[in-house]
A and B are shown apart, each in its own frame.
Chain A
Amino acid sequence: MRILVNGVWRDTGACDVGSVLQEMGLNEAPVATALNGEFVPVAARPGARLAEGDRLEVLAPMQGG
């Protein structure tokens, strides 16, 4: 299945948000996720099912003013 992760197409065998993060090696990282514009808390990641063409945002701490 192909999904957009942070604006880049990605082929993935994962079927939920938690598994994609594991695939990316970010499951333990300090990141927050949003699927199709909706916040997905850590506890909800395993249950957040993915579908073809979904948009996943994976955000991390960054400099800010």
Chain B
Amino acid sequence: MLELYGIELRSHLLLGTSRYPSPVALTEAVRASRAEVVTVSLRRESSGERAGQGFWSIIRGLQEVRVLPNTAACHSVKEAVTTAHMAREVFGTSWVKLEVIGEDDTLQPDVFGLVEAARVLVADGFQVFPYTTEDLVVADRLLAAGCKVLMPWGAPIGSGRGLNNLFGLKALRAHFPDVPLIVDAGLGVPSHAAQAMELGFDAVLINTAVAEAADPPRMAQAFAQAVEAGRAGRLAGPMEPRDMAVPSTPVIGKAFLG
């Protein structure tokens, strides 16, 4: 089980809801992924189109799925904090995936603003899921600010490049063995998710890799299987890699035929 702020979840895969080719593809992908948490956002609503209401009815129609609102595209502490408050009212949850973006080419988190915004939101009663880097000191500050979950990036958002800094992610896992760690962003194929789980991460959050696949529901299912396989592999205790070969077939009893 995965426990996030006291909520127990069977699935270790969280799914984003953006960039799908159609609402049908989105709902089928969520079902196929068996995700129990989907990320959502807030954007300007026009009185004519009312796209937001249509989207919200789709999400509410998903069975046994809770939402994790984000503060995507916020570049300042104030923007992120205000957006979080607006999201809490609309979505009726204190969960917030906190994003404070610091750089537009990589969408790298502004970790200074992130820590400050986390401190403000925790004091306001939010349960914060900070989108961060693998930096240990930043992680420590976020935990001190009251975050109970961390979401380190694998690679820049939407890049599909996998786990860019294996050493850093391993160090993060080793330093905070009891903190739920969710690899968020940058995973491109199911093997990336399996690798994150094999490293001992508690969950992964996927969006673009599923939404922009040729067949989103099928890719969602593939990620779900990869997450389960990676987690099972971790729990089974992987062997230590060696530099030299070791015969897997016993040598004792081998016939002398030379």
A binds B: yes
Chain A residues at the B interface, C-beta cutoff of 8 Å: 6-7, 24-26, 29-34, 37-39, 41-42, 57-65
Q: Which of A26, A32, A33 has the most CB of B within 10 A?
A: A32
Q: Could you pull out 26 A-B pairs where Cβ atoms are within 8 angstroms?
A: A25-B47, A26-B45, A29-B45, A30-B52, A31-B90, A32-B89, A37-B82, A39-B85, A59-B43, A59-B86, A60-B50, A60-B53, A60-B55, A60-B56, A61-B42, A61-B59, A61-B90, A62-B41, A62-B52, A63-B26, A63-B55, A64-B17, A64-B39, A64-B41, A64-B72, A65-B72
Q: With both chains docked as a complex, state the minimum distance between the C-beta of B211 and any C-beta of chain A, in angstroms.
A: 8
* Bound complex: CA A29 to CA B42 (Å): 13
Contacts of B55 in A (CB 8 A): 60-63
* Bound complex: CA A41 to CA B90 (Å): 10
* Bound complex: CA A57 to CA B78 (Å): 15
Q: With both chains docked as a complex, state the minimum distance between the C-beta of B225 and any C-beta of chain A, in angstroms.
A: 21
Contacts of A34 in B (CB 8 A): 82, 86
Contacts of B59 in A (CB 8 A): 61
Whether A6 and B45, one on each chain, are in contact in the complex, defined by CB atoms closer than 8 angstroms, is yes
Whether B42 and A65, one on each chain, are in contact in the complex, defined by CB atoms closer than 8 angstroms, is no
Which residue from A32, A38, A39, A60 sits with its C-beta under 8 Å from B51?
Answer: A60
Q: Is B27 an interface residue (CB 8 A)?
A: no
Whether B208 and A65, one on each chain, are in contact in the complex, defined by CB atoms closer than 8 angstroms, is yes
Which partner residue on chain B sits nearest A57 by CB separation? Answer: B44
Q: Is B77 an interface residue (CB 8 A)?
A: no
Which partner residue on chain A sits nearest B69 by CB separation? Answer: A64
For chain B, the count of residues having a C-beta within 8 Å of the partner chain is 40
Whether B40 and A64, one on each chain, are in contact in the complex, defined by CB atoms closer than 8 angstroms, is yes
Top 4 closest pairs, chain A to chain B, by CB: A60-B52, A64-B41, A65-B16, A32-B86
Q: Which of B39-82 contact A (CB under 8 A)?
A: 39-47, 50-53, 55-56, 59, 69-70, 72, 78, 82
Contacts of A57 in B (CB 8 A): 44
- Decide yes or no: A59 and B90 within 8 Å by CB, A6-B45, A64-B18 being known contacts: yes
Q: Is B142 an interface residue (CB 8 A)?
A: no
- Decide yes or no: A32 and B39 within 8 Å by CB, A64-B18, A65-B72 being known contacts: no
Contacts of B50 in A (CB 8 A): 29, 60
- Decide yes or no: A59 and B39 within 8 Å by CB, A37-B82, A64-B70 being known contacts: no
Q: Is B133 an interface residue (CB 8 A)?
A: no
* Bound complex: CA A39 to CA B126 (Å): 15
Whether B40 and A62, one on each chain, are in contact in the complex, defined by CB atoms closer than 8 angstroms, is yes
* Bound complex: CA A56 to CA B40 (Å): 22
Which partner residue on chain A sits nearest B49 by CB separation? Answer: A60
Contacts of A31 in B (CB 8 A): 45, 52, 90
